[in-house]
Each structure stands twice: as structure tokens, then as C-alpha cells.
């Protein structure tokens, strides 16, 4: 029998075959600070036959529905080793293949019902919020080429630094706004958060930036660019960006148990600050892989998904960047595999391999990015690709 289930027990009760949960969960419990207090699982939960839940995710069995079970289990066992024996601080690892969740595992702080804190992968979710606004007609693909300030009526254009009034979302969403703030000025602004409420946040970015050259703006990974995107969502949709994300994006996929911190502007944070369950991260990966469709409904325009996951600019090393989504080519076993990814510090990943119809979801609590961005493709792809 290929299916493998390592029993666990948080309370000492006998395992019932279900994935581990945090008991008595409520919205107030979802936070980065409280997540740190979750005790490590006594034993890891590793299943090659995930449980079918009423969450819109189809399930299957590793091996029978694809993949070499022993290769995946060998990798999972390594991850499951105690932190004193391994470099991993992985909390969950999920694998979907050809539309089915066929492997689900939780380690350490991982729980099936607890939203895991997300750092920069929040940027990827922010991009999808704008994509949803485009699909509903609040914004258009052509509008991406228009200056951001055209949509922000409370920004005083007479006080803006040279070049900032020409910044478009197309530039901002691949970290090409050109905004450059002096560190001392940033410290000064943070001392008085009231001055950054609403669109005053973008006013500050654009007003106190160094002049932006007309050509030669380089990629810079920073918070100002996703903040512009969230501000535009807030400006163009009915109601608030917070409610729009809740009802028109996440709610449409049945994602209701999540956290999303508030920025100094009062809007949802866009650079980091969301919390998502591992299965809900998988849903987001499935949405992107399907070209913006969920359960037969086109939630996000296919054209937007295509551009968001295109290699628009070289970022760091050999990685490319689209609209807050990373694009990489991983060489495994002499073959190159194209990957579209959401990434977050600490080790939060949604790795999508379109040609393989393979999605890998990872959560962790590493001090940095950890090694899973390198390890997971190298260890998992060979289980789905013949030599």
C-alpha cells in the first residue's frame, strides 16, 4: 500500500486520520505573533491520499494519480526530521498534479486550519486583486499604461518629485517605479503615521522621492510599488479594497479563514502581511494555472494572468519578475522546467510548473528564505518526470 500516514497527536489523543488542526480557532487568533506560540506537532502528518473536504479542491492518491510515491516520501521524511538534525523549518508541503491534491503534509507549526503568515507572497495576491478589478470592468489592461496619479484624486500633483507623475502601474507592478526614498526621510515619516493615511501614503512616496530619470530605471524590490497597486484597487472598485478582496476575490474561491493586516494607510498591506492556509494557497496556484478560472468562472482575465506571470524584467540572478510574480527556469535531470511562483520570506511558496500541471505549496518559519526554493523542485520534479 503506497498511502502513508504518520500519526501525530497534539493533545495525546489517538490519531483519527485527519490533518492536524488548531482547536477553538477564531479570527482574533490569526496573527504572526500568535503563530509563533503554536507548539510543534508531536509527530508529522504525511498523507499520500489527502482527505476530500468541502473546499472546492479535488483530491487523489500519490502514485495512482501520478508521481513516484517513494521519492516524495523520502523527501518528506527528511523534512520531518527534528530541527536539530536538519536545515528545514518547514511547516507544510502540498502537491497538486493535474488538478488533484495528491500529497498533503504538516510539520512543526503547520495546521490544516490555521492561516500561515505570508511575507512578500502577499504582493502576488495584491496583483490578483487588481486582476479581478479588471475582469469586473473597474479597470482595464489599457489603464495599466496610464499614470497612477490619474486614479488617485487626493494626491497633490503640484508637490510631486520630477518623474513620479509619469509612473504607471505597468512599471510599478514589476518593481520599476523608480521611487527612491532617503532612509532618514522614511524614519521621519514613520514617526507620524497619521500623515500617511489614505492616499497620503502615495503622496509621501512621490513627493519625497529622488527625481526619477526618464530612462534607465532599474528593478528594485520595495514596498512603494505594491502600495500603489493597492491604492488603485481602493480608488476604482465599489466600497473598500478590503471588502473587495474579501467578497470578489478570496470569497469567490471559498477562502474565508484568512488574515490580512492593515497598512499605515488604512488599506490592506500589499508588500507583506497576509495569512493563508496551505490549501487556500493551493487554490491561488490553481487559479493562476487555469488562466484565471475557478470552478468554471473567469475570475481574472486570462490576458492579465498571462502578463502577470511573464518575464517582464530580470530581477536577481537568473530570476525574472512579472506583476509581483516570479518566473524561473529550473534545470532538473538535464531538462529545463518553467516555473511561475509566489514567494515570501520565511519560506512561503506557491510553485507552479504549467507544462507539468504541477503545483507545490510550502509554508515555513525560516529566518530567511530557507532552501526549499532549490530543494523542492530538485526533489519533487523527478517524481513526475521520466528520465
Same domain for 114 and 144, yes or no, is no
Q: Are 123 and 174 in contact (CB under 8 A)?
A: no
Q: Is pLDDT above 80 for 275? A: yes
Give how far Cα 359 sits from Cα of 75, 82, 173, 341, Å.
16, 26, 23, 10
Same domain for 144 and 80, yes or no, is no
Spatial CB neighbours of 34, under 8 Å, sequence gap ≥ 6: none
Same domain for 293 and 373, yes or no, is yes
Q: What is the pTM of this model?
A: 0.92
Same domain for 69 and 145, yes or no, is no
11 found inside a domain: no
Render the burial of 126-155: b for 16+ CB within 10 Å, e for the rest: bbbbbbbbbbbebbeeebbeeebbebbeeb
Largest CA distance in the chain: 71
245 found inside a domain: no
pLDDT tens per residue across span 45-87: 999 999 999 999 999 999 999 999 999 999 999 999 865 555 5
Spatial CB neighbours of 132, under 8 Å, sequence gap ≥ 6: 244, 248, 249, 299, 300
Same domain for 151 and 232, yes or no, is yes
19 found inside a domain: no
241 found inside a domain: no
* Beta bridge pairs of residue 128: none
Domains identified in the chain, total number: 2
Write the CATH number for 298: 3.40.710
Q: Which of 360, 112, 129 is nearest to 251 (CA)?
A: 129
Q: How confident is the model at residue 373 (pLDDT cuts 50, 70, 90)?
A: very high
133 found inside a domain: no
Write the CATH number for 185: 1.20.58
According to DSSP, residue 120 is labeled T
Same domain for 115 and 204, yes or no, is no
Range of the domain at 93: 27-119+271-383
Look over the chain and give the mean of its residue pLDDT values, rounded to a whole number. Answer: 91
162 found inside a domain: yes
pLDDT at 87: 59
Cell of 381: 520534479
Q: How confident is the model at residue 225 (pLDDT cuts 50, 70, 90)?
A: very high
Same domain for 276 and 358, yes or no, is yes
Q: How far apart are CA 260 and CA 337, in angstroms?
A: 32
Same domain for 31 and 65, yes or no, is yes
Spatial CB neighbours of 322, under 8 Å, sequence gap ≥ 6: 173, 174, 307, 308, 309, 310, 311, 312, 340
294 found inside a domain: yes
303 found inside a domain: yes
pLDDT tens per residue across span 245-273: 999 999 999 999 999 999 999 999 999 99
Q: How confident is the model at residue 12 (pLDDT cuts 50, 70, 90)?
A: very low
Find the angle CA(222)-CA(274)-CA(10) to the nearest 5 degrees.
135
Same domain for 97 and 147, yes or no, is no
Q: Is pLDDT above 80 for 366? A: yes
Amino acid at each position: 500500500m503506497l498511502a502513508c500516514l504518520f500519526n501525530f497527536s497534539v493533545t495525546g489523543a489517538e490519531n483519527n486520520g485527519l490533518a492536524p488542526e488548531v482547536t477553538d480557532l477564531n479570527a482574533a487568533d490569526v496573527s504572526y505573533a500568535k503563530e509563533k506560540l503554536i507548539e510543534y506537532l508531536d509527530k508529522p502528518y504525511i498523507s499520500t491520499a489527502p482527505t476530500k473536504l468541502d473546499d472546492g479542491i479535488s483530491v487523489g492518491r500519490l502514485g495512482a494519480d501520478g508521481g513516484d510515491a517513494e521519492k516524495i516520501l523520502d523527501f518528506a521524511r527528511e523534512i520531518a526530521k527534528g530541527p536539530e538534525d536538519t536545515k528545514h523549518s518547514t511547516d507544510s508541503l502540498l502537491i497538486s498534479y493535474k488538478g488533484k491534491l495528491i500529497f498533503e503534509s504538516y510539520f512543526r507549526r503547520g495546521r490544516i486550519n490555521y492561516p500561515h503568515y505570508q511575507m512578500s507572497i502577499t504582493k502576488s495576491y495584491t496583483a490578483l486583486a487588481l486582476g479581478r478589478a479588471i475582469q469586473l470592468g473597474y479597470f482595464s489592461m489599457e489603464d495599466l499604461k496610464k499614470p497612477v496619479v490619474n486614479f488617485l484624486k487626493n494626491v497633490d500633483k503640484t508637490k510631486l518629485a520630477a518623474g513620479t507623475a509619469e509612473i504607471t502601474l505597468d512599471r510599478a507592478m514589476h518593481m520599476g517605479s523608480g521611487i527612491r526614498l532617503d532612509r532618514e526621510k522614511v524614519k521621519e515619516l514613520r514617526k507620524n503615521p497619521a500623515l500617511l493615511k489614505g492616499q497620503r501614503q502615495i503622496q509621501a512616496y512621490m513627493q519625497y522621492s529622488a527625481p526619477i530619470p526618464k530612462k534607465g530605471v532599474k528593478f528594485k524590490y520595495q514596498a512603494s510599488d505594491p502600495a500603489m497597486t493597492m491604492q488603485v484597487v481602493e480608488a476604482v472598485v465599489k466600497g473598500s479594497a478590503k471588502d473587495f478582496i474579501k467578497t470578489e476575490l478570496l470569497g469567490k474561491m471559498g477562502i474565508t479563514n484568512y488574515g490580512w493586516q492593515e497598512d499605515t494607510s488604512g488599506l490592506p498591506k500589499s508588500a507583506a502581511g497576509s495569512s493563508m492556509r496551505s490549501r487556500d494557497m493551493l487554490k491561488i496556484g490553481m487559479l493562476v494555472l487555469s488562466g484565471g478560472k475557478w470552478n468554471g468562472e473567469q475570475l481574472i482575465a486570462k490576458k492579465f494572468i498571462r502578463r502577470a506571470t511573464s518575464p517582464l524584467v530580470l530581477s536577481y540572478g537568473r530570476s525574472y519578475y512579472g506583476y509581483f510574480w516570479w518566473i524561473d527556469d529550473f534545470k532538473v535531470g538535464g531538462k529545463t522546467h518553467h516555473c511561475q511562483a509566489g514567494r515570501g520570506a520565511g519560506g512561503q511558496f506557491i510553485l507552479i510548473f504549467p507544462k507539468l500541471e504541477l503545483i507545490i505549496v510550502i509554508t515555513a518559519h525560516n529566518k530567511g528564505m530557507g532552501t526549499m526554493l532549490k530543494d523542492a523542485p530538485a526533489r519533487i520534479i523527478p517524481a513526475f518526470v521520466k528520465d
